[in-house]
Structure 1
Amino acid sequence: MDIDLYFSEKLREWFEQREGRYLPWKEGQDPYKIWLAEIIMQQTRLEQGLPYYERFIAAYPTVKELAESEEQKLMKLWQGLGYYARARNLQASAIRVIEDYGGTFPDNYDDILSLKGVGEYTAAAIASFAYDLPYAVVDGNVYRVLSRYFGQELPIDSSAGKKWFKAKAQALLWEDDPANYNQAMMDFGALHCRPKNPSCGDCPLAENCGAKAKNRQLELPKKGKKIQIRKRYFYYFVWRGANGGYYLRKRQEKDIWQGLYEFPMIELDKSLKTSELKSLWAHWELEEQDWALLSGQEQQQLSHQKIIARFLWPKAPLNQALAEDWELVEVQDWADYPLPRLIAQYWEQKQLAFF
């Protein structure tokens, strides 16, 4: 039996016999909506990303409105999704669509791929879903389904692995219906061939599944590189203005959270004991008795970094010479300022509601 043909036929039967997931951006094959959704859904679960997509479409119903958006509004809408470069790349690409393509989204794979923030997966998704072009997508779901079914042990993050999976996905593509093939692959991985609890007992591919034959479903796919997590220690200073409000600064560095607002901060390469904090007080020309509150550790795990933060509340007046790039913002206005999730959650815990 041709296992490729078996795979293709059984996958098509499975897809045609079930009700697909509700994906509003697929209605009408609007390339702008598909592009917007694909960028939002990168590194994001569907249930988390869908409300963001709906808010973005409400705020920016056309690519022109996205191109003309104020950065602060854009970043505020993105708040909580992480990988904030995606939002900046969205606007950069929207501007290019306006300037280079007259406001009409490009309709071929190479031009789509040339947009900032669009990689091979996203370009293939837009090309197939919007224009029915024969390009196979390869995402985490596709890696998992193919590696298990074909018993492929090449690491998915290796050059050889990426080449094999891309070629195999393309070879299996239903050329008469590339959009539904791609949707079927992603749905099957997300709903049936799941990472931890795959439905092997009623799997339509079970008869020829290489992983199931050897009871190795949970071992595949394989990765070759172990992610090294970098720890970073942020010490935030929650400085209240003389007439109310708190000081915020905009992160300008090409780093995490660029374009978001935070309390003034000092970053160190290690965690300080409470007895060692005098060095931070000295930075602001303050004495130990000038501190009213020190928080416990607050943490946020990013893909390759772990942020460990503490919040210090000085009660002495601020030396204005230290605050050149700070903004004094009233609490009721914070809803207009995009904040890192770590800070937003800490503020909510303090029950100083600003939403």
Structure 2
Amino acid sequence: QWVTMVTRDGFRVQTFDGQPVTPEVHSVSWDMVTAEIGEYRHFMQKEIHEQARSITDTIGGRIDFATGQVTVPDLNLTPELARKIKRIVIVACGTAAHAGMVGKVLIESLARIPVEVDIASEFRYRDPLVDGGTVVLAISQSGETADTLAAMEEGRVKGATLWSIVNVIGSQAMRVANGYITMQSGPEIGVASTKAFTAPLVDLYLLAMKLGELRGTLDAARLKMLAADLARLPDLVGRTLDRETAVEAVAQRLRDVSHCLYLGRGINMPIAYEGALKLKEISYIHAEGYPAGEMKHGPIALVDKDMPVLVIATQDHWYEKMLSQVEQAKARGGVVIAIATDGDTLMATKADYVLYVPECPWLLSPVLTVLPLQLLAYHIAVLRGCDVDQPRNLAKSVTVE
């Protein structure tokens, strides 16, 4: 056994009885970035797999699972304010806007408040109708997105209450808001956002629960049920991410395509948008997300053997409609990849490939259905030799127009 003595002048190695030793030196080809990535090839892959943890952290301390009571003190949400709200306008860009679209369904379903989702760069220039009964809710990972900050200022000038959902503590979107909720995702290094998409979905779910409680649209029994559903979510996320090998097989099939069409309905319509955006961002494949019900209003003309169609078809109240879209795409020669619920043997007979997710309450299903789409974009990009963490022409935070 040896002991190493380290001083400001260097180091020496010796045995316990003081005899000097000349050790064989092995250089480790790690830099700090590689060390932080750990067992993963890229930050994006690491951050995808961190989502069970980031969701646990986002939930932590904010809900009493025994009663269903939600605590979000930094939002400064009082019963009086909750009753005063006439509508909520969510302003965001890119991936955050897709999270906002899911939030619209959550808040309208649970709190029965009308919600609009506006692209921040459009909102700021449109002279929008905003007043004291409006909440302008900004979503931004960095909290420094220029268009989102400008949209918040537009709301402030017109007398709206400003809320924000941010990941970076102390960011401008946090400071200028009347109240905020943090994502608790931790640093996100990859330019293409992953864990900073699913964490705000949890924040929005908690917000919808709190608003529903204060406005009387959710009784105690429903709050407990919603809390119990949320308690299971991190485990469901982990189980979904354990199926990465199945996603890799589909990525091999799609690595050389030039176009993809993503279809979703209801609360999973924004996941079609987000899945398409991820593929565009990191693999440079043209992809388009579309509401499935609009397929016959144009996109169906594009479907053939060279246009893969990815459909989000979990077993919810849109399932029969989505099954019909799969059949329509197959009838026109399309290659169909379906995101489906465990045990769905019917979908396996209809689609060319099926990526399964665990059964989940429909309000939380977007957190699961987006995971195979994130992994799919990642593995296609790796197979194409793309720079996954730093895709061309993109920046992590867009701080200018």
Compute the TM-score of the two structures, normalised by the length of structure 2: 0.20
More strand by percentage: 2
